[in-house]
Structure 1
Amino acid sequence: MDSVSIKAILFDLDNTLIDTAGANRRAIQKVEALLGARFGQDDVRKIYKGFELKLLQETYDPSGSVGIDQNTRLEQLAIPDPVQALLEDLRETHKLLLLTNGVAQTQWEKIKAVRCEELFHAVVVGGEHTEEKPAPSIFQHCFSLLGVGPQNCVMVGDSLDTDILGGVNAGVRASVWVNANGRDVPPGASARPDYTITTVLELPKILSALK
């Protein structure tokens, strides 16, 4: 390894710091249970499928054209205590930035719900910018906000197509893939991570290796 120091860490939000996919599943199950007390099974299935479709569209559709009451999902979201403790420790030695794609209103509702804004030196929501991850422009914006160069940064996220590809193209010192399911990098993956971990709690060992 060269002697360039790691001064900043860029974190993805969904399924990196918070279990958005799990919260979605729990929200759908809760809605299904509530509906089951009021409607017949066939009606429940129809409503349930519609709710599931809208939730998925809201999560992945960058147009933001789908709007539903998110309270059921938001109440399921939280940053686990060990992850919060890790961020608090890292904040003492590194500049931390939260970089998340998605509709601005939706992402800010999640950020406020988990009360994580104060853990970061800066928060960048892709929906508020012309381009989102993996576009180099939004990473350059992050570097500028923190006053660091890409070679001083690590990008941590769960998506090969946005977090890892974006970090690699932006020239970060290292890209760290949070691979909770233990799956292999697909042969045709858009980018290959420098490091793979199953949880962000393993990040300190990567940072030690980069010193």
Structure 2
Amino acid sequence: MMGSRGVLSIIFDLDNTLIDTAGAGRTAIQKVCELLKSTHVQESHIRDICERFLRKLLQESFDPSEGKTIDDVRIQHWCEALQETPGTDPDPALASRCYYTWKNTRLQALSLSSEVRALLEELQKNYKLLLLTNGDTQTQREKIEAVRCEGLFSLVVVGGDHPEQKPARSIFTHCFESAGVRPQDCIMVGDSLTTDIQGGVNAGVRATVWINAGSKSLPQDSVTPDYTLPTVLHLKEVLAQLA
């Protein structure tokens, strides 16, 4: 039974839900392209090198128990991207420069827009706001610090701090118990069908809200969100329906 308390808590994803991580990433890659143009690397190879890095990033598996930092792993991605490109010297120093240019530019480009910040400030007057983000602890904490958003949430949970990440039920259970709420008191808001929306369904939240900024079609055999919005700025419309 849902009970009659209505929505008490909103669980937000971070990347591409509250902040435009994809856009910041594009800006960061452009900066690396400019760096590589100033080196010995052939200009015709630059885009290929960057695309190789992005593929490695997408397929990344990181285990902190192996004694490496996420910085070490991602410098290695750039080193391999250089090495795999014909006629390009896999210079470790250049790989490090590429990585820190990409990392620092991306962090600088990330921001919580004034509109999103205002929305969260308004919502926190009536709802308990939780932030639940997947990813390596260092990387996600750096983003949270860069956009100065931690004070807007009653609880911030980073997947890398836990044995399982979204869509696992366990990390949602941790959120519920830590925040003192029931699954049916909460809605889950995020851009990923496979982690945010599926995770919300697995955990039994009251409703799931898919942020579909690119107007993507719902894939076949995908979990179906209860609501779909082009931006988190329309969230109050959903809350009004759930009141």
* Global fold match (TM > 0.5): yes
- Matching residue within 208, 225, 228 for 1:193: 225
Q: 1 or 2, which has the higher helix percentage?
A: 2
Alpha carbons of structure 1 residues 172 and 62: separation in structure 2 relative to 1, 3 Å? farther
The equivalent residue for 2:16 is 15
Is 1:114 aligned to residue 147 of structure 2?
yes
Asked if the contact 1:12–1:99 (Cα under 8 Å) also holds between the matched residues in 2, the reply is: yes
The equivalent residue for 1:82 is 115
Asked if the contact 2:13–2:190 (Cα under 8 Å) also holds between the matched residues in 1, the reply is: yes
Q: CA RMSD in A?
A: 1.9
Tell me how far apart the structure 2 counterparts of residues 182 and 110 of structure 1 sit (CA, whole Å): 25
Query: Share of identical aligned residues, percent?
Result: 54
Alpha carbons of structure 1 residues 122 and 180: separation in structure 2 relative to 1, 3 Å? same
Q: Secondary structure at the match of 1:66?
A: helix
TM-score by length of 1: 0.91
The equivalent residue for 1:96 is 129
AA matched with 1:195:
Y
The equivalent residue for 1:5 is 6
AA matched with 1:117:
E
> Structure 1 regions of 5+ residues with no counterpart?
none
Q: How does 1:1-211 map to 2 (within 5 A)?
A: 3-36=4-37, 38-39=38-39, 43-55=42-54, 57-58=56-57, 61-63=60-62, 64=70, 65-67=73-75, 68-69=99-100, 70-189=103-222, 191-211=223-243
Asked if the contact 1:62–1:127 (Cα under 8 Å) also holds between the matched residues in 2, the reply is: no
TM-score by length of 2: 0.80
Task: State the shift of 1:198 in Å.
Answer: 0.4
**CA offsets 1:80-119 (integer angstroms, 9 cap, x no match):** 1100000011111111111000011011011101111111
Tell me how far apart the structure 2 counterparts of residues 23 and 107 of structure 1 sit (CA, whole Å): 14
Larger Rg: 2
